[in-house]
Amino acid sequence: MTINITMPALSPTMEEGNLAKWMVKEGDTVSAGDVIAEIETDKATMEVESIDEGTVGKILVEEGAQGVKVNSVIAVLLEEGESADDIPSDVGAGSAAPQEKKEAPKSEEKSEEKPAAKEEAKPEAKAAPEPANKAAPKKDGNRQFASPLARRLAKENSIDISALSGSGPKGRVVKRDIEKALEEGVPQAAPAAQQGTQLATGMSDAQVTALYEDGTYDAVPNDGMRKTIAARLTEAKQTVPHFYLSMDCKLDNLLEARANINAQAKKDENGKPEYKLSVNDFIVKAWAIALQQIPTANATWAGESTLLHHHSDVAVAVAVPGGLFTPVVKKAEAKSLREISAEVKDFAKRAKSKKLAPHEYQGGSTAVSNLGMFGIKDFSAVINPPHGTILAIGVGEERVVVEDGEITVGNFMTVTLSCDHRSVDGALGAEVLGVFKSLIENPVMMLA
């Protein structure tokens, strides 16, 4: 019996991917564990291994194909004794998504019809029946009443549910209204990124584009990474209540300690040191220890509960062409400065070629974003859910300050902590930032 090879889900949120490269061709023999293709997600390029053995009978998705749905058939594997004639003619046709049970919609439809029957049984309902095409009632002018099934079907088909007239009890939108909309056509819901534009300007993307004269701009299509960043951070700013805390940290002791440690590094035959710590390595370590000392600040919001994390899993923002990665340094509080330095350098190198695995850039409770190397003095970073905080690092620079009544010169940097107010309150954020400042200004305490 032929074996279908399907587009794998390389992360829990992946819905589609690009088939970057085939590592095999029709007629090749493969064994379990052999790499057969390279798949691009919005943030990574990963190798896909065969889980069966056989001969590649037919490749259904060409190399370079974009937007291939998860679970759709991309190739067919032949078992021993089979030929291309054994491949079903309809293989790969239609969606590979699991089909829903027909009984479930019927069950819900019945439950929706029962309230309608009760309404008709009431005398007042008979005396003043509600029109079937009445617009669905809204709560506070925003919410459209609809059954859970109708909402799910509307989301799956990008239907703008607020544009529908409900035929259910009290104008509620039900399954049959969605089916009618699919047949007759209704305005579709705007993508998340476009909704952000509409909220900011009151205009759609097309209307914004129309404002500019032809030939005065280049329209660069947004790739999957850019769209994901736009959707996630638009959602973050709309749903996560941010507040910001800023503090200046003196760097003189840290710079001296860094120079001393780097001077002890052994050199190879080419004179290259075996390690070279950066200021950012100290920052990641200090922030990880600070979260351990104030454990209630190492928190993320989970709706019905607040998660207090046992370890400091610190994501580090890495800029790549066209976007951003946030690989996570796991258990950073338990790692040495050299280990953190080596791990971050490895992450940065592989991020630029999109070779990070999903588990390496997902999760974590907090993040560090450092724009000091670009000369940025201070900034406020956007929290990347599900993180509860993000620490923004400005440039280290010489500043004239007053200490003990005397004017002196020292090296300082400004840091700004963005907090999710649902899980980290102002006083708690100030407390953990104070501990971080103390560790940066007295780096020997990181070893205590």
C-alpha closest to that of 106 among 184, 176, 178, 183: 176
Name the token pair of 182: 């699919």
Answer whether 352's CB lies under 8 Å from 319's CB: no
> Where are the alpha helices (H) located in 326-425, listed in sequence order?
337-352, 358-361
Q: For residue 240, is it left (φ>0), alpha (ψ between -120 and 50) or beta?
A: beta
- Residue located via tokens 């129309």: 210
Q: Which residues lie closer than 8 Å to 154 by C-beta, 6 or more apart?
A: 146, 160, 161, 164, 173, 178, 189
**What is the SS3 assignment for 346?**
helix
How many angstroms separate the CA atoms of 221 and 224, rounded?
Answer: 10
Taking the CA atoms of 421, 422, 424 and 427 in sequence, report the sign of the dihedral they define.
Answer: positive
> Where are the alpha helices (H) located in 34-102, listed in sequence order?
none
C-alpha closest to that of 347 among 331, 359, 365: 359
Residue type (1 letter), 189: A
Would you name the residues annotated as active-site residues? 421
Strand ranges (E), 318-396:
318-320, 323-325, 328-329, 366-370, 389-393
C-alpha closest to that of 362 among 70, 14, 59: 14
